[in-house]
Amino acid sequence: MGSSVEILSPVGSPDSLVAAIKGGCDAVYLAGKSFGARAFAGNFSDRQLEGAVNYAHDHGVNVYVTVNTLIKNSEMDEAVSFVRFLRDIGADAVILQDLGLLKNLRSIDIPKHASTQMQIHSLEGLRWCSENGLSRAILARELTLEELSRIVPESPIETEVFVQGALCYCMSGGCLMSSFIGGRSGNRGSCAQPCRKRYERDGEAGYFLSSADLYCIDRIEQLRDIGVHSLKIEGRMRSPAYTYLASKAYSMAEDGVSGPEYDETIELLRTVFNRGTCHGYLDGVESPVQSLYPDNRGFYIADVRIEDRTIVSPIEEPVGMKDGLSIFRGDTKVGGFKVMDLDPIHVPFKIEDGDYQVYRTYDPRIDVIKNRIGNTPKLNGETERTPVALRLDKQPIRHYKPELSFYVSTIKNLEAALPYAKRVYFDNLDRIDEAREVCGDRVECVTLLPRFDADDVFSETEHPVMVNNPGQYRMCRGAPRVYGSSVLNMFNSYFPLNLYQTTLSVELARNEVSNLISHHPGRAEVMAFGRTEVMYSRDPGMENCMLKDEKEMSFPVYRDRRGFTHVLNSVDLYLLESLEELGRSGVVSVGLDLRKRPASLVKAVGEMCVRPNEKLKAKLFEMCGGTITRGLYQRGV
């Protein structure tokens, strides 16, 4: 047995703080009223935060505070002031996503952890974190145990791995589906959970993007042995009873405790919240999707036969008096009731004879736990925030005729783009040499790296390259030109990476784009056309298809050569009529994403940019299916 690992518990409210600590965790993570990635949890006021830190420290528990949303220029002063406040009240670390915020915290003496939203998933990423003042990285949930065993032992900083709770379908930090569909950004803490919605695929309906919950209590020993420092439980939106039970179960497992109390804790944990469980990707690249239902159904008891309002088939799983049971037929809940008689169990409402599924959603022992957690002490503090006024130098006014940068993945589309392009981002490493040859000296050919690369295989130092995360940025520093993709989430003028050109986050509104560029000396690109990639997943269970949602919107889905799933927006982003406006804002280049599209569309987009006219516009609209969007450039998040 190696050294012990930290059990890190979620705290969404003062009640859950007490529950986590009484459950036996070593550390908790929580948020203030702003800048946390769970904006809809109860969260903590400044006074409550100070009280929470003191209460946790009195019980020997560390407190990490999430400041892990993307930060706008207009919010940066407040965010930095908040982190100074966290240092002043003795918080043990701050969890960050935004690279511009990280730059502004260099002089503030508080440990800094890279959020999983920062997309750290390789040794190069961990080395970048170490060189930039981060003492821990919360690793991407897409990593397998095999990959972790190659990465973690060599890491120069602490590593943290999710082991319990909700699992995003998309790689964290790269999901745009919620913001593009509903204007609520996961990167800003307001995810509307589109992955939990029902979709149609090839005539079949189901929850095809809904992952089962992580449940990796039986992988603690392996994670500890490879050197993972902290095991993270997800669930700041869940009940104090869940927090208590998860903290207790994982703490007992880490301590090697077994027996009736441990078994009961596990059973109750799987009752208090359960949408199905999996090991995520730890055991290998297997689909985590549980497509039958997306919500908490409690603990599965049995498939049963009901006749004359009585369960007539045998039930192996023990059911007790006052247990709460829910009855389902497929994905429809028929009803729920409290058990008042056994052998047989009678259903106290009208129900057709037939076959059903029964789940335990309540166990009277959970009331005992609520009593064990007890009352929440008053959490109070007196420390005030110190206002911060950061200085942003205004850049000289810059007007450009934006260059045209085409994203393509075939030689045919590359050739169609050549008469119009200043550069192409070529998304097909198997044919990159041929692409460079076709481009010759006329058009710059930029190698577009894959978004996920656990073993740092895909490097480029001899030719121009586009990178997607800090690890790739570090690995490709020697390239003649390094471009940053929109996945790097440049959201403010403080963005620190020294890139030749950076594509701004596609979640910025028009006024935020111009404000950012007016204070940033570097070259900025804005995406202006194409089906925005709204999800990127390692799920091997998804095939090429169209996903249709409840509003009849169709989202193209394809799997790439490495087996990764790409979900595209249902309509094309169309800012081609705003090129002049973008140029006046200081945008030096526009991105035109034409991957997986016909060469005729590449040509039409190029023509519209160079020689716009109404006839061509009408033709282009028709080629786009008759519907386009100005995206978040119009409305922001």
For 490-527, what is the HEC assignment? Answer: ECCCCCCCCCCEEEECCCCCHHHHHHHHHCCCCEEEEE
Angle at 629 between CA 623 and CA 631, to 5 degrees: 140
**Confidence class of residue 637 from pLDDT cuts 50, 70 and 90?**
confident
DSSP 154: G
Dihedral (CA of 608, 614, 616, 617) sign: positive
- Please tell me the number of Cα atoms within 13 Å of 59 on its side-chain side: 19
- Residues 231, 146 share a domain: yes
Q: Give 270-294 as a DSSP string.
A: HHHS-S-EE-TTTTSS---B--S--
Q: Give 186-241 as a DSSP string.
A: GGGT----GGGS-EEETTEEE-TT-BPEEE-GGGHHHHHHTT--EEEEP-TTS-HH
pLDDT at 286 over 70: yes
- Residues 528, 465 share a domain: yes
The answer to whether position 491 is within a domain reads yes
Domain end (from 320, 346, 366): 366
Q: Report d(CA 150, CA 136) in Å as an integer.
A: 17
Under a CB-based contact definition with an 8 Å cutoff, are residues 239 and 20 in contact? no
Tokens of 217: 């209590």
- Residues 524, 613 share a domain: yes
Q: Report d(CA 555, CA 547) in Å as an integer.
A: 5
Total of domains in the chain: 3
The answer to whether position 559 is within a domain reads no
**Which contiguous run of DSSP H or E holds residue 354?**
strand 354-362
The answer to whether position 380 is within a domain reads no
- Residues 303, 274 share a domain: no
**Confidence class of residue 190 from pLDDT cuts 50, 70 and 90?**
confident
pLDDT at 42 over 80: no
The sheet with strand 324-329 has its strands ordered as 310-311, 299-307, 354-362, 324-329, 332-338
When pLDDT is averaged across residues 367-385 and rounded to a whole number, the result is: 92
The answer to whether position 521 is within a domain reads yes
Indicate left, alpha or beta for 405 from its phi (over 0: left) and psi (-120 to 50: alpha). beta
pLDDT of residue 292: 86
- Please tell me the number of Cα atoms within 13 Å of 297 on its side-chain side: 26
Question: Which single residue is written with the structure tokens 């140029």?
Answer: 583
Residue from 298, 140, 159 nearest 224 by CA: 159
- The phi and psi torsions of 545 (rounded to 5 degrees) equal -170, 180
The answer to whether position 547 is within a domain reads no
Helices (H) and strands (E) in the chain, counts: 19, 31
Q: Report d(CA 588, CA 526) in Å as an integer.
A: 8
The answer to whether position 394 is within a domain reads no
Q: Give 408-453 as a DSSP string.
A: E-SHHHHHHHTTT-SEEEE--GGGHHHHHHHHTTTSEEEEE--S--
Which SS3 state, helix, strand or coil, does residue 57 take?
helix
pLDDT of residue 229: 98
Under a CB-based contact definition with an 8 Å cutoff, are residues 419 and 438 in contact? no
Convert the pLDDT of each residue in 127-165 to its tens digit: 999 999 999 999 999 999 999 999 999 999 999 999 999
- Residues 352, 240 share a domain: no
Q: In Å, how far are 413, 512, 536 from 557, measured between CA atoms?
A: 20, 30, 10
- The phi and psi torsions of 324 (rounded to 5 degrees) equal -95, 120
Which of 183-187, 267-271, 430-434 has maximum average pLDDT? 430-434
Question: Which single residue is written with the structure tokens 């705003």?
Answer: 578
Q: Report d(CA 275, CA 585) in Å as an integer.
A: 47
- Residues 527, 427 share a domain: yes
Domain end (from 346, 366, 386): 366
| Percent of the chain with pLDDT strictly greater than 90 | 89
**Confidence class of residue 41 from pLDDT cuts 50, 70 and 90?**
low
pLDDT of residue 1: 41
pLDDT of residue 343: 87
- Residues 325, 248 share a domain: no
The answer to whether position 198 is within a domain reads no
pLDDT at 588 over 50: yes
The answer to whether position 27 is within a domain reads yes
Tokens of 57: 């420290």
Q: Report d(CA 184, CA 637) in Å as an integer.
A: 6
Range of the domain at 303: 299-366
CATH at residue 441: 3.20.20.70
- The b-or-e profile of 322-345 (16+ CB within 10 A means b, else e) is ebbbbbbeebeebebeebeeeeeb
**Which contiguous run of DSSP H or E holds residue 23?**
helix 14-23
- Residues 583, 471 share a domain: yes
Domain end (from 349, 366, 383): 366
- Residues 83, 151 share a domain: yes
- Residues 322, 443 share a domain: no
Taking all residues of the chain, what is their mean pLDDT, rounded to a whole number? Answer: 95
- Residues 460, 528 share a domain: yes
Exposed / middle / buried, residue 462 (Cβ in 10 Å: 0-12, 13-18, 19+): exposed
Under a CB-based contact definition with an 8 Å cutoff, are residues 61 and 25 in contact? yes
| Percent of the chain with pLDDT strictly greater than 70 | 99
- Least confident stretch, 145-159, 327-341, 533-547: 327-341
Convert the pLDDT of each residue in 223-255 to its tens digit: 999 999 999 999 998 999 999 999 999 999 999
Residue from 65, 180, 137, 215 nearest 568 by CA: 180
When pLDDT is averaged across residues 546-574 and rounded to a whole number, the result is: 96
- Residues 589, 522 share a domain: yes
Q: Report d(CA 32, CA 304) in Å as an integer.
A: 46
Q: Report d(CA 609, CA 617) in Å as an integer.
A: 10
